[in-house]
Amino acid sequence: MDQIGISSYPEERLAGLMQELGQPAFRARQLFRWLHEKQVCAFCEMTDLPKALLAVLEERFTIETLAVQRRQQSRDGTVKYLLRLPDGNCIETVWMRYSYGNTVCVSTQVGCRMGCRFCASTQGGRVRSLTAGEIAGEVYAAVCDMGERVSHIVLMGIGEPLDNFDNVMDFLSIISSPHGANIGMRNISLSTCGLVPMIEKLAERHLGLTLSVSLHAPTNEMRSAMMPVNDAYPVEQLMRACRAYQQTTGRRVSFEYSMVNGVNDSPETARRLAQLIRGMGAHVNLIPINPVDGSPYSASDAANIRRFQAMLTQLGVNATVRRRLGADISAACGQLRREGAGLPADSIDG
Ligand code: SAH
């Protein structure tokens, strides 16, 4: 019988399992605490659970733990991990230090099928989605390595989180539980390339996390050239979903905008972008694009980015330029995994 990853079970599902096994209800919380608060890697460490129960669990389940395959540390404290999943696939996880606390950026899939033209993560397509326990395992592997607490999570690593909806929802339930890592939804950001039906589905959950939308261009012509997902869900539909999301959840959406030299960085484009999102109170994160192999794009220069930002501000849109962390390590997100052995440094942004 194939073993099931028990660390993917939110507490309610563990409760169902304990009932099925004829155990008292409080065992579910005990087990959940061992897995997600103490973050043990083996059933034998769960010293207050009955031996007979542990034997059954051992036979039917595994604990999904991730091993550090490679680790790169930047002078600014950013650490980038290549982590090995139980089946041998690798993904990337990043530890970042901000003034407000430590943040872990997690991957949600092995590869990605969204096809954004500037992104290294999608170049080999999607191999598979991660389980909830594997995504949580990324956080625990980083915490274990650093020996420090994490206060914030961003779902901005490899993969499209809303293309792995159910597992990502289970992960959010697990990681935000006060009986586990206890990272509040207010401290979690989920980034999407814009899968409209899934944004609508997410809104219904009223989770209180920050939804971050990778917009990157204000017109369909420009956006479709950069992101094939725009052919399925064009800008008007995406913006309608974002406004509805804000209305339903009472939470402001934020937008990511990766700046590509000569493609989406003109003053006219800034005006169109401002027109598109004015009045939403939304925040725009401007990010110089990270050039990846096989992509025709190069980054806008710093002066151009400042000008773009100033125009947005003048037009009533709040925009910041994202601080580049880890500038001396590794390359754009997804490249470490694809090359297996890391390249000369650029930036970890994106
Ligand atoms: N699939 C999700 C989350 C992962 S990518 C999404 O699309 O939002 C995280 C962010 O990095 C996205 O905004 C993505 O568009 C951006 N990104 C990817 N590759 C990049 C690159 N080479 N340079 C700059 N930003 C990049």
d(CA 250, CA 253): 10
Q: What proportion of the chain, given as a percentage, has pLDDT over 70? A: 92
C-alpha 209 – ligand 1 centre gap (Å): 18
The CB-side HSE value for 285 (13 A sphere, CA atoms) comes to 17
Task: Give the whole-number percent of the chain exceeding pLDDT 90.
Answer: 87
328 confidence band (pLDDT: 50, 70, 90):
low
Helix (H/G/I), strand (E/B), else coil: 113:
coil
Q: Which atom of ligand 1 is nearest to the CA of 292?
A: 22
Q: Is 272 helix (H, G, I), strand (E, B) or coil?
A: helix
**Looking at residues 176-180, what average pLDDT do you find?**
98
Q: Any idea which of 148-152, 169-173, 186-190, 288-292 has the lowest mean pLDDT?
A: 288-292
Interval between CA 45 and ligand 1 midpoint (Å): 39
Query: Best substitution site from 93, 96, 122, 191 to test ligand 1's pocket, by max atoms within 8 Å of Cβ?
Result: 191
Write down the pLDDT at residue 325.
67
Average pLDDT over every residue of 125-131:
98
- Ligand 1 center–CA 215 separation, angstroms: 10
Atom of ligand 1 nearest to the CA of 116: 15
Please give the Cα distance from 344 to 276 (Å, whole number).
38
Q: Which tokens is 177 given?
A: 């539980």
Q: What angle do CA 173, 143, 31 make, to 5 degrees?
A: 45
Give the nearest ligand 1 atom to 118 CA.
22
Compare 2 and 33 and report the one with higher pLDDT: 33
For 22-80, how does the pLDDT look when each residue is reduced to its tens digit (9 = 90+)?
999 999 999 999 999 999 999 999 999 999 999 999 999 999 999 999 999 998 889 99
At residue 337, the pLDDT reads: 74
| CA distances, 173 to each of 54, 90, 114, 208 (Å) | 24, 24, 25, 12
- Atom 11 of ligand 1 has which residue's CA nearest to it? 350
- Over the stretch 182-198, which tens digit does the pLDDT of each residue have? 999 999 999 999 999 99
Q: Which residue has the tokens 């849109």?
A: 317
Please name every residue paired with 185 in a beta bridge, in sequence order, or none if there are none.
none
Q: What per-residue confidence (pLDDT) applies to 347? A: 34
CA of 18 to the centre of ligand 1 (A): 40
Residue from 94, 109, 110, 116 to probe ligand 1 pocket by mutation (most atoms less than 8 Å from CB): 116
Cα(83)–Cα(94) distance, rounded to whole angstroms? Answer: 10
How far is it, in rounded angstroms, from Cα 37 to Cα 115?
A: 36
DSSP state of 163: G
Residue 126 has pLDDT above 50, yes or no: yes
Query: Average per-residue pLDDT in the chain?
Result: 93
Residues whose CB is less than 8 angstroms from the CB of residue 141 and which lie 6 or more positions away in sequence, other chains included: 65, 66, 67, 68, 81, 83, 93
> What CA–CA distances, in Å, run from 289 to 19, 30, 131, 303, 331?
51, 46, 29, 14, 12
**pLDDT-based confidence at 295, cuts 50/70/90?**
confident
Structure tokens at 265: 């960085």
Distance 313 CA to ligand 1 centre (A): 23
Handedness of CA 222, 223, 227, 228 (dihedral sign): negative
pLDDT at 330 over 60: no
Task: Clarify whether 90 is annotated catalytic.
Answer: no
The residue whose C-alpha atom lies closest to atom 1 belonging to ligand 1 is 160
**How would residue 345 be classed by pLDDT, with cut points 50, 70 and 90?**
very low
**Are 237 and 271 in contact, with CB atoms under 8 Å apart?**
no
pLDDT attached to residue 339: 63
Alpha helices in 250-334 (DSSP H): 267-277, 302-314
Query: Ligand 1: which of 94, 108, 118 to mutate, judged by most atoms within 8 Å of the beta carbon?
Result: 118
- For 93-120, the pLDDT digits (tens) are 999 999 899 999 999 999 999 999 999 9
Mean pLDDT of the 205-211 span = 97
Contact 297, 261 (CB under 8 A): yes
Closest atom of ligand 1 relative to the 333 alpha carbon: 19
Q: Which of 11, 64, 92, 256 is catalytic?
A: 92
pLDDT of residue 229: 98
Active site residue 333: yes
pTM confidence score? 0.94
Ligand 1 site residues, Cβ closer than 6 angstroms = 116, 118-119, 156, 160, 191-193, 214, 256, 258, 287, 289-290, 292, 332, 349-350
Ligand 1, atom 15, residue with closest C-alpha:
214
Sign of CA dihedral 103, 107, 113, 115: positive
Q: Which atom of ligand 1 is nearest to the CA of 297?
A: 22
Task: With cut-offs at 50, 70 and 90, classify the pLDDT of residue 343.
Answer: very low
Span 173-189, average pLDDT: 98
